[in-house]
Amino acid sequence: MQGKSELMTYFAQQLKVDIGCTRADGLVSLQSTSCTGMCDQGPAGLVNGYALTRLTPSRIDQIVDYVNRDIPLTQWEADLFHVDDNIIKRDLLLNEKPLKGQAISATFARGLRETLAEIELSGLRGRGGAGYTTAWKWTFCSEENATQRYVVCNADEGEPGTFKDRVLLNSYAESVFEGMTIAAAIVGATHGFLYLRGEYLHLLDKLESILAARRAANLLGCNILQKGVDFDIEICLGAGAYICGEESALIESLEGKAGIPRNRPPYPVTQGYLAKPTVVNNVETYVAAANIAIHGGAWFAKLGTAKSKGTKILSISGDCTARGIYEYAFGTTVNTILADCGASDVLGVQVGGPSGVFIANDEFERKIAFEDLATGGSFIIFNNTRSILDIVHNFSHFFAHESCGFCTPCRVGTSLLKKQVDKIVEGHGSAGDIVALEELCQLIKNYSHCGLGQTAANPVLSTLERYPEIYQAMLKKISYEPGFDLDKSLETARRMANRNDAAAHLAQVEN
Amino acid sequence: MTKTFVIDGKTIPFEDGQTIMQAASAAGVYITHLCHNPQFTPHGSCKLCTVNVNGRNCSACTFPASEGQNVTNISKELNEDREKITQMLFVEGNHFCPSCEKTGNCQLQAVAYHLNMTDNHFPHFFENREVDASHPDVMIDHNRCIFCTLCVRASEQVDGKNVFAISGRGIDKRLVVNSPSGLLKDSALDVSDCAAHICPTGAILIKRTGYSVPIGQRIYDHAHIDAVALASEGEAHDH
């Protein structure tokens, strides 16, 4: 959205390498990537796994020069790698900077059972998007008959357009770790994992040093604060697969296997990591839990709606003047948010990322809430210069690329969907193609193994419902249209036959 | 008292720990499937055994039976969708039944007939897939692989060899062979292994046995797959 294709072309020209290839001298390869969680400071890239932000032609010139002179990454100008927090609107959670250990001390002072009761009272639901009640998840895990349990923080923030977990881990990591420690004390886990998306490699050293300092302060390790609780946290890096944001695929990945979602039941709370009861929560959920442990459930529940308590941290990107992190009480309308971030002439908003929903500009009185617009935090604004079909085209390619391939409907279906969208976008669609498109969407949605497949058709379904005329306008007015360019397909035959006369060409449609 | 649930109006007894598929097979109710084989740990990937349990779609081969479930197995919608899932498998690979040695013994083909599939519906991928004929006794035709992982499970769970695995992601997923060269000839596979004989399609074939049973006398030439499956697998479930 921020001129990626022009910059890619420029990058390729300057590096003298084709996109998707490695240069002959082996020094550099250039590839395209999906969202790396830098939408508020894009266009962004990754070099040797480290994030590059705010790319411009002049910054690209600088990078090309470093590459050509074979300068090691450690000697590149630090500003190339500078990542901003861009926190624009703070509320309950972002206003709080608890003292180190404060949430854990408060938990021990109140009692574990009593703290769990406060978390239940707060109405806290999982912030990854699915919205399962946090206190119930912890309770079920603690009630399982097991000798070992695990606590996992899902920081595989891969949904395109979301980057709030990056900011929480950069500036609120103590609260994340306190939240995990409280969960561990309550469910009885001694070992925890932070599953960090590979694209956030730049945060790894900082997070490791925070963990080390917490161990030194007896906030992790054996007998935490002399209260008889043992718990430590290990950081595991993801390898770039979107599917590992799904909790059971994440657990498979933690176990060193390919990221493929498990059959459920059993759910992770009964059989998770190494088949032991495991709590998996989002980064923001742990931050909320830590603050609830300090301030109590009522403090949190005073904001929000009846079914969605507290606040939601949004990652706002796209066509607006102030991209960044915004924290809102649940129940806030899209109109309010659009006014705050300086969006005008808005075509629509993709709420919850590609797996969420695209809402049109006559729906902006709708609210951010589990019962209306549920979201893990991605909020991408499109103005009227954008094309609906370009957006859908991009998202359908994304899902086809990210399908793990385990089940038939998603493996084959997302690739068929990509082809069908391409066919329509490229102008080869005819009368039956919209019906075929919708039928395919329903099949993928209703039969896929996990949330990826079940939501992969959402970009098509939600735009088809709102803008059927845009799809219809792409169709040829004939009953049948080949799904490819007929004349272009004959090019090889013409070359081999050394012919290029009129009779060697075929019209797409017989006149 | 025996616990029961209901499939299409019929009361099915089950024991704790049984899946819907296991209880159904034991009670003589066929649910379409390809990646499931009662000898092995259920996989739940082909999605042909999708049934509706109390309003929600579930894979019968992995979903536990429980008291009072109301399961829809046969409905126009489910069967039409299962047909489309089968068509997906056909267009993903390169399946030419008339020239395939497995015709008449092939579960993919038999399921397609069972679901009254008459065309491929979706556009073909025409993927370029390899044939590995390096092994003296067994060949792999990747054109016909449907990623059911039965060979993977058989090699691991019965042969104790781990000859096969599935590698890659999405539509680029492929069956791979555990050998230094990646070829079957350099793997531990023996023609007598369970993994060499478990393939439901013609992706893994035994050399020099082609057409030993003439077309017309093969498993599904005279019996439908539901009857064949219930006769063989129903028993296996009982054990």
Question: What are the pLDDT digits (tens) for A243-256?
Answer: 999 999 999 999 99
Give the mean pLDDT of A334-346.
97
Distance CA A283, CA A174 (A): 11
Do residues A174 and A98 make contact, with C-beta atoms less than 8 angstroms apart? yes
Q: Which range of residues forms the domain containing residue A455?
A: 389-473
Q: Is the pLDDT of residue A395 over 50?
A: yes
Verify that B7 and B38 share a domain, yes or no: yes
Q: Which of A301, A336, A353 is the last residue of a domain?
A: A301
Q: Is the pLDDT of residue B238 over 70?
A: no
Verify that A238 and A150 share a domain, yes or no: yes
pLDDT of res. A453: 96
Chain B residues with CB within 8 Å of chain A CB: 42, 44-48, 50, 57, 59, 62-64, 81, 84-85, 88-89, 91-92, 122-123, 125, 146-147, 168-173
| Contact at CB, A263 and B42, closer than 8 angstroms | yes
Do residues A94 and A78 make contact, with C-beta atoms less than 8 angstroms apart? no
pLDDT confidence tier of residue A431, bands split at 50, 70 and 90: confident
Verify that A216 and A342 share a domain, yes or no: no
Verify that A379 and A421 share a domain, yes or no: no
Q: Is the pLDDT of residue A168 over 90?
A: yes
- Asked if residue A132 belongs to a domain, the reply is yes
Question: What are the pLDDT digits (tens) for B175-208?
Answer: 999 999 999 999 999 999 999 999 999 999 999 9
Distance CA A332, CA A337 (A): 7
Give the mean pLDDT of B49-76.
97
Instruction: Report the CATH number at residue A218.
Output: 3.40.50.11540
Q: Which of A301, A327, A351 is the last residue of a domain?
A: A301
Give the number of A-B residue pairs with CB atoms closer than 8 Å: 80
Cα distances from B210 to residues A175, A243, A250, in angstroms, run 66, 42, 44
Verify that A76 and A172 share a domain, yes or no: no
Length of chain A: 511
Question: What are the pLDDT digits (tens) for A313-327?
Answer: 999 999 999 999 999
Q: Which range of residues forms the domain containing residue B77?
A: 3-81+226-238
Verify that B88 and B193 share a domain, yes or no: yes
The residue among B32, B45, B89 with the most chain A CBs within 10 A of its CB, best to mutate, is B45
Verify that A111 and A154 share a domain, yes or no: yes
**∠ CA A374-A301-A352, rounded to 5°:** 15
pLDDT of res. A511: 45
List of long-range contacts for A20-25, beta carbons under 8 Å, 24+ apart: none
- Asked if residue A41 belongs to a domain, the reply is yes
pLDDT of res. A253: 97
Question: What are the pLDDT digits (tens) for A28-73?
Answer: 999 998 889 999 998 999 999 999 999 999 999 999 999 999 999 9
pLDDT of res. A156: 96
When CB atoms are compared, the residue of A405, A419, A449 closest to B168 is A405
| Contact at CB, B169 and A404, closer than 8 angstroms | yes
Tokens of residue A98, six digits: 């608890």
| Contact at CB, A263 and B64, closer than 8 angstroms | no
- Asked if residue A107 belongs to a domain, the reply is yes
| Contact at CB, B123 and A419, closer than 8 angstroms | yes
Verify that A373 and A394 share a domain, yes or no: no
Establish if A422 touches chain B: CB-CB under 8 angstroms. no
Verify that B72 and B98 share a domain, yes or no: no
In this structure, of A30-44, B50-64, B79-93, the range with the lowest mean pLDDT score is A30-44
**∠ CA A262-A314-A329, rounded to 5°:** 110
DSSP string, A42-81: -S-EEETTEEE-S--HHHHHHHHHHHHTT--GGGS-GGGG
Residue bearing the bigger pLDDT, A24 or A480: A24
Nearest CA in chain A to B51: A447
In this structure, of A118-122, A125-129, A192-196, B160-164, the range with the lowest mean pLDDT score is A125-129
Verify that B64 and B145 share a domain, yes or no: no
- Asked if residue A466 belongs to a domain, the reply is yes
Verify that B70 and B87 share a domain, yes or no: no
Q: How many domains does chain A have?
A: 4
List of long-range contacts for B21-26, beta carbons under 8 Å, 24+ apart: B21/B49, B21/B60, B21/B61, B22/B65, B22/B237, B23/B65, B24/B60, B24/B73, B25/B229, B25/B230, B25/B233, B25/B234, B25/B237, B26/B234, B26/B237, B26/B238
- Find the helix or strand (DSSP H, E) in which A10 lies: helix A4-15
Question: What are the pLDDT digits (tens) for A288-320?
Answer: 999 999 999 999 999 999 999 999 999 999 999
Q: How many domains does chain B have?
A: 2
pLDDT of res. B239: 40
| Contact at CB, A447 and B47, closer than 8 angstroms | yes
Task: Residue B89: list chain A partners with CB under 8 A.
Answer: 408, 412
Verify that A369 and A397 share a domain, yes or no: no
pLDDT confidence tier of residue A508, bands split at 50, 70 and 90: low
Establish if A419 touches chain B: CB-CB under 8 angstroms. yes
pLDDT confidence tier of residue A504, bands split at 50, 70 and 90: confident
DSSP string, A339-399: HHTT--SEEEEEETSTTSEEEETT-TT-BBSTTSB--SSEEEEEETTS-HHHHHHHHHHHH
| Contact at CB, B171 and A405, closer than 8 angstroms | yes
pLDDT of res. A477: 67
Question: What are the pLDDT digits (tens) for A145-160?
Answer: 999 999 999 999 999 9
In this structure, of A202-211, A490-499, B16-25, B26-35, the range with the lowest mean pLDDT score is A490-499
pLDDT of res. A99: 96
Do residues A257 and A248 make contact, with C-beta atoms less than 8 angstroms apart? no
Chain A, 206 to 265: residues with Cβ < 8 Å from chain B are 241, 263, 265
Verify that A371 and A403 share a domain, yes or no: no
Verify that B11 and B62 share a domain, yes or no: yes
| Contact at CB, B84 and A443, closer than 8 angstroms | yes
Torsions phi, psi for A153 (to 5 deg):
-105, 120
Verify that B143 and B66 share a domain, yes or no: no
Helices assigned H by DSSP within A146-281: 164-171, 173-187, 204-216, 247-254
- Asked if residue A481 belongs to a domain, the reply is no
DSSP string, B119-147: S--SPP------EE--SSSEEEEGGG---
Do residues A127 and A310 make contact, with C-beta atoms less than 8 angstroms apart? no
| Contact at CB, A412 and B173, closer than 8 angstroms | no
Beta bridge partner(s), residue A351: A357, A379
| Contact at CB, A408 and B62, closer than 8 angstroms | no
Verify that B89 and B187 share a domain, yes or no: yes
Cα distances from B63 to residues A68, A266, A313, B19, B234, in angstroms, run 57, 9, 36, 5, 17
Residue from B171, B165, B127, B122 nearest A402 by CA: B171
Distance CA B64, CA B53 (A): 11
Question: What are the pLDDT digits (tens) for A439-454?
Answer: 999 999 999 999 999 9
Do residues A355 and A455 make contact, with C-beta atoms less than 8 angstroms apart? yes
Verify that B42 and B104 share a domain, yes or no: no
Residue from A432, A447, A458 nearest B80 by CA: A447
Task: Residue A406: list chain B partners with CB under 8 A.
Answer: 45
Verify that A253 and A290 share a domain, yes or no: yes
Chain A, 448 to 477: residues with Cβ < 8 Å from chain B are 448-449
Establish if A511 touches chain B: CB-CB under 8 angstroms. no
Do residues A278 and A252 make contact, with C-beta atoms less than 8 angstroms apart? no
Instruction: Report the CATH number at residue B74.
Output: 3.10.20.740
Verify that B37 and B115 share a domain, yes or no: no
Tokens of residue B215, six digits: 């077309």
- Asked if residue A497 belongs to a domain, the reply is no
pLDDT confidence tier of residue B4, bands split at 50, 70 and 90: very high
Nearest CA in chain A to B45: A407
Verify that B232 and B170 share a domain, yes or no: no
Question: What are the pLDDT digits (tens) for B7-27?
Answer: 999 999 999 999 999 999 999
Verify that A150 and A246 share a domain, yes or no: yes
Residue from B116, B101, B136, B120 nearest B212 by CA: B101
Q: Is the pLDDT of residue B226 over 50?
A: yes
- Asked if residue A494 belongs to a domain, the reply is no
What is the CB-side half-sphere exposure of residue A107 using CA atoms within 13 A?
28
pLDDT of res. A506: 81
Verify that B116 and B60 share a domain, yes or no: no
For all residues of chain B together, what is the average pLDDT? 95
Task: Residue A405: list chain B partners with CB under 8 A.
Answer: 147, 168-173
Those residues whose C-beta lies under 8 Å from the C-beta of residue A31, and which sit 6 or more positions away, are A19, A20
pLDDT of res. A2: 77
Torsions phi, psi for B52 (to 5 deg):
-100, 115
Q: Is the pLDDT of residue B144 over 70?
A: yes
For all residues of chain A together, what is the average pLDDT? 94
Q: Is the pLDDT of residue A483 over 90?
A: no
| Contact at CB, B170 and A401, closer than 8 angstroms | yes
Distance CA A417, CA A264 (A): 26
Instruction: Report the CATH number at residue B141.
Output: 3.30.70.20
pLDDT of res. A476: 74
